[in-house]
Amino acid sequence: MNTDCIEKGAWDKIKHAHFIEESIDSSFVGGLMTIKTKPFKTEILYFSESPEELIAVSVDHYSVRYVNNPNISSHVLDGVSSESSHQGKDRIVNRVQKLFLKYQCPEGTNNSK
């Protein structure tokens, strides 16, 4: 992902907007717990709009590490999971990248696109 010239505090705003609610759907509880036990430390974003999913981003915000989407798989997927197509992986990365766009300078936005 491209995080060039992101304004200060942008990640906090993104996390706040995609906070995992305590009342999260039960189909995500297992995935959330699994992500928290994975070897790479991440920050987890919850997307309530379709497709509903959890996306775990590396703490340096340069990559997506894990995704949990019950409609794709019954378990947490990582970047090498064969259950997610190349197109599916691109969709997930682009979904997070789009969150950065409104917090980037014009040059960063152009590089992100």
In terms of pTM, does the model score above 0.95? no
Task: Please check whether residue 2 lies inside any domain of the structure.
Answer: no
The CB density around residue 113, as the number of other CB atoms within 10 Å, is 10
Model confidence pLDDT, tens digit, residues 47-93: 988 999 999 999 998 899 999 998 888 889 887 677 777 788 889 99
- The residue whose two tokens read 């491209």 is 2
Phi, psi torsion values for 2, nearest 5 degrees: -105, 120
Percent of residues in the chain assigned helix, strand, coil, to nearest 5? 40, 20, 45
Cis peptide preceding 51, ω within 30 of 0 = yes
Is 71 domain-assigned? yes
Instruction: Write out the E strands in 59-107.
Output: 64-68, 77-78
> Is 113 inside any structural domain?
no
Q: How many domains does the chain have?
A: 1
**Residue numbers of the domain that contains 39:** 10-105
Question: Is 96 domain-assigned?
Answer: yes
